A and B are shown apart, each in its own frame.
Chain A
Amino acid sequence: MTTGRRVLVIGGLALATLGMLYGLHYAVFVEHQTLDRMGGSLAQAFLNAAGRNLPGAHQAIEAYASTKYDYVRQVDIHSHWIGLAMLLIILGAVFDQVALSPQAKTWIATSLVAGSFFFPLGVILQTISHGAEWASGLAIVGSATVTIALGAVVWGFARSGA
């Protein structure tokens, strides 16, 4: 088994396990509470408005938006880690058909694994500080790395006539 394939399969299995562990932890300890908080804030906003307390209603809407901002990203990290892990394992199985030098393939495999880890990590880090540029930057760099590396794989397939 070549180094590139090994990196992709090990990286994929590790990322799938990590994504599932995160999903299990999230489902058991976080999700229900987050959904309750989100629904509670929105209901509270309407109740405040019904009581003609508009500043309170606006505050509750802000709380709802903030919780939903976190919720969307927390769910995204689970699905993106597992989805990218599946892609890594599949590419590991067909990597011999990529017509590029072994060194280039090792770099591509490493980039795919690194990008697949850091892109969702950047997304979840946005919840620590909403709109944090460093977290968005990490997500952008991670996703760009995966996309460019996948483009290189497509090019390698095209060269081999696969």
Chain B
Amino acid sequence: MSTHVVSTNLTETFVPMSARRLLIFGGIALIAGGMLFGDIFAIFVLHQNGGQTGQALLAASEAVSAGNALAVKEAFQRIGGLLEDHGTKVDTHVHMTDAGYLALLLALIQPYVALPPRRKKLLAGLFIAGGLLLPVGIFLIHYIGLAYSPFSAIGWASVLADSAGAVLILVLIAEGYGFWLFLRGNDSGREPELPADRTWERRVLLSGGTLLILVGFLYGAWYAAVDLYRHEARETQILTNMLDSSAGGQGGAVVAVANYGSLAAERAVKIAAHSHLIEFGLLAMLLSFVQPYVGLSDRWKRRWVVMLLLGSVILPVFVLLEMNFGLVAGGIADVGGLLVIIALAGMLVGVLRYSGSLDLGDASS
């Protein structure tokens, strides 16, 4: 196996326009962009979309009462469009953020990828491009639909998204191949590993991140054991009641639709709390590795770390509390998300400052 070098000089690990630098810049930008999109979606689309879906479902129930099959079809066309709008926006947020996480991960393992520097840089560029085009393609699915598509079920936006996904897979396979070469003792493209510093910021982000992930796991296990099957059974029961009462002309459709909306909300907030706890935990752990490249004073670095962890706790906790305290809790959860975005932007500015000073130093020398 090839030996690796732990650098005592930080500048050696952050060479201008290197694969690692590209992956760190691109990764943080993708994560911040994905989170900003998620926050905008939560504030301006999520609740409005849910309300419109409920109204369309109520219209479908009323059409059942009236025995009007045409109105049922129209209502379901509306519901289908609203669900697609909602689903593609959630997927845009998730895929952009996750591509950013993977970019930071790839930056982390660059010392173990035995490929020539130019090829590593090409792979990094392809990964960032794929990570950007994948969510853009997903976002456009709802707006482009099947226009000019030669396929029966897949439109051009889906083709863009799937192609970008394929690029990400190919890059991962190439990076895996480089790692395999490293394990076989190939020294090509060897670069120094990051020094294992134990600064306050790094320790707090690592331990805080691991704890968030553990709490997220335990909550997910609780949800799967207690709520998942109960929710599935309740949904079937509510829909059956809705149809029985509508067809029998007994009324009660409004209550059934309200119950359905309440179930959908309960399910959404519980899954969101689980996934955000784990994603923020991963983010905190990943950002602990970036800290040596944040060119800010210790005081400011600590401020961003505390803000990031605070937001990472506030968002999932208050998302859960939405069931009890409604939009007030939802608003506080959005502020939590904003704190994470601001902390990320602060760290990105720090990385830019660091690389700027590094490049200026290189130029003057």
Contacts and interface: CB of A to CB of B under 8 A. Distances in A.
Interface of A: 1, 6, 9-10, 12-14, 16-17, 20-21, 23-24, 27-28, 32-33, 36, 39, 42-43, 45-47, 49-52, 54, 57-58, 61-62, 64-65, 68-69, 79, 82-83, 86-87, 89-90, 92-94, 96-97, 139, 143-144, 146-147, 150-151, 153-154, 157-158, 161-162
Interface in B4-29: 4
Q: How large is the interface on B (under 10, 10 to 19, 20 to 34, 35 or more residues)?
A: 35 or more
A51 B217 CA distance: 46
A13 B172 CA distance: 7
A36 B236 contact: no
5 shortest A-B CB distances, which residue pairs? A32-B153, A43-B76, A49-B243, A49-B247, A65-B236
Interface in B113-172: 153-154, 158, 161-162, 165-166, 168-169, 172
Contacts of A17: 169, 172-173, 176
B102 interface: yes
Interface in B344-364: none
A139 B23 CA distance: 34
Interface string B217-232: 1101100100000001
23 contacts: A10-B179, A20-B168, A32-B153, A43-B72, A46-B64, A47-B73, A49-B64, A49-B243, A52-B247, A57-B247, A61-B239, A68-B235, A83-B282, A87-B282, A90-B108, A93-B108, A143-B221, A151-B214, A154-B207, A154-B210, A157-B207, A161-B203, A162-B198
B236 A1 contact: no
A146 B220 CA distance: 12
B310 interface: no
Interface of B: 1, 4, 60-61, 63-64, 66-69, 72-73, 75-76, 79-80, 83, 94, 98, 101-102, 105, 108-109, 112, 153-154, 158, 161-162, 165-166, 168-169, 172-173, 175-176, 179, 183, 196, 198, 203, 206-207, 210-211, 213-214, 217-218, 220-221, 224, 232, 235-236, 239-240, 243-244, 246-247, 275, 278-279, 282, 285-286, 288-289
Contacts of A161: 203
B105 A64 contact: no
Given A89-B109, A153-B210, A83 B196 contact: no
B90 to A, nearest CB: 11
Contact of A146 (B211, B217, B235, B240): B217
A143 B162 CA distance: 30
Nearest to A51: B69
Contact of A150 (B72, B169, B214, B247): B214
Contacts of A50: 63-64, 66-69, 72, 247
A154 B211 contact: yes
A1 B161 contact: no
B162 A24 contact: yes
Q: Identify the interface centre among A46, A57, A151: most chain B CB within 10 Å of its CB.
A: A46
Given A17-B173, A49-B64, A83-B98, 4 more contacts: A9-B112, A39-B83, A89-B108, A90-B285
A87 B213 contact: yes
Contact of A32 (B154, B275, B285): B154
Contact of B76 (A6, A46, A62): A46
Contacts of B286: 90
Nearest to B183: A6
Nearest to B138: A27
B305 to A, nearest CB: 15
B113 to A, nearest CB: 10
Nearest to B154: A32
Contacts of B101: 86
A63 to B, nearest CB: 11
Given A17-B176, A69-B232, A94 B76 contact: no
A121 B1 CA distance: 32
Contacts of A87: 213, 282
Nearest to A43: B76
Given A28-B154, A82-B98, A96-B196, A46 B72 contact: yes
Contact of A90 (B68, B76, B105, B220): B105
A69 B190 CA distance: 48
A75 B203 CA distance: 34
Given A9-B179, A83-B278, A23 B165 contact: yes
A16 B102 contact: yes
Contacts of A32: 153-154, 158
Contacts of B75: 46
